[in-house]
Amino acid sequence: MMGKVDYSVVLSDELLDQFYLFKKNGHYDEKLVQRLLRYYKPLYLTNISQLERIGHEPDPTLRINLLKSDYKSQSLEELAKITQFKIILCTDRTDFPYVNINGDVIESNYSGTFLRSDSRLKAISHIKALCADAKNKVIVYDKYFSNQRNNIEILKGILPKRKLEIEFDKGSFSLEQQNALKAECPAWILKEKILLDCHDRYLIVDDKTEIVLTSGFQYLNEKTKELTYLVRRINGHQFG
């Protein structure tokens, strides 16, 4: 594990102990390890003091590398500064640099980034698959949606053709765009509401799945600008 490597995170004593038990098929807390693995990015950074605290005897190579690298007695906070993500995964704190795997404002989500000229086919396929799960409602939020006529073609391509409520911010869809959606699928029910002002663009599926776009919907088709999207599980939404 040691040598000239890029370390990602630090684990609290409790989580490092559970991680080792998991690796050697010992008696570990299954639910705790599942939550840890949702956040964990290899490789973790540890030191001699932490291994001694949890009673873990490292193999000789690991011990030698720790000593050579001078990873002996630093605090977890000091170790975190050396890692790429600058965080300590734990179960009992939320103050930085700690990230609580049981619930924290810093999350571990799925995302995709596409540079100029990159194909967006995978992003479109992923978002379409997420929207296919919609049972009742999809919220489409982009306060500049009407500025791009082709935005409506994106929605026509990713939303399931069945009875579905499509909610959007007041004034964000032109009448022409609304008529185009109604013509595409008469079962779609369009609802215009006053939604809270936000900077990013959103698709929210049944108040359970949130898709955030850092650029306009048109960049799911156009390749003239970078695009990043993020998918996260939610309970409700911020637009109410």
Q: Provide the token pair at 171.
A: 């004034």
pLDDT of residue 2: 41
User: Omega before 16 cis (within 30°)?
Assistant: no
Are the C-beta atoms of 127 and 211 separated by less than 8 Å? yes
User: What CATH number is given for 110-233 in this structure?
Assistant: 3.30.870.30
Task: Give the rounded percent of residues in the chain with a pLDDT score beyond 70.
Answer: 97
pLDDT of residue 240: 58
Task: Give the rounded percent of residues in the chain with a pLDDT score beyond 90.
Answer: 85
Q: What is the mean pLDDT of residues 140-145?
A: 94
Q: What is the mean pLDDT of residues 25-31?
A: 92
pLDDT of residue 87: 97
Instruction: Sort residue 202 into left (φ over 0), alpha (ψ -120 to 50) or beta.
Output: beta
pLDDT of residue 149: 85
The per-residue pLDDT for range 66-85, each reduced to its tens digit, is 999 999 999 999 999 999 89
Domain parsing of the chain, residue ranges: 10-100, 110-233
The per-residue pLDDT for range 183-220, each reduced to its tens digit, is 999 999 999 998 877 878 999 999 999 999 999 999 99
Residues 6 or more apart whose CB falls under 8 angstroms from that of 136 comprise: 164, 165, 206
Nearest CA among 165, 142, 159 for reference residue 218: 142
pLDDT of residue 3: 43
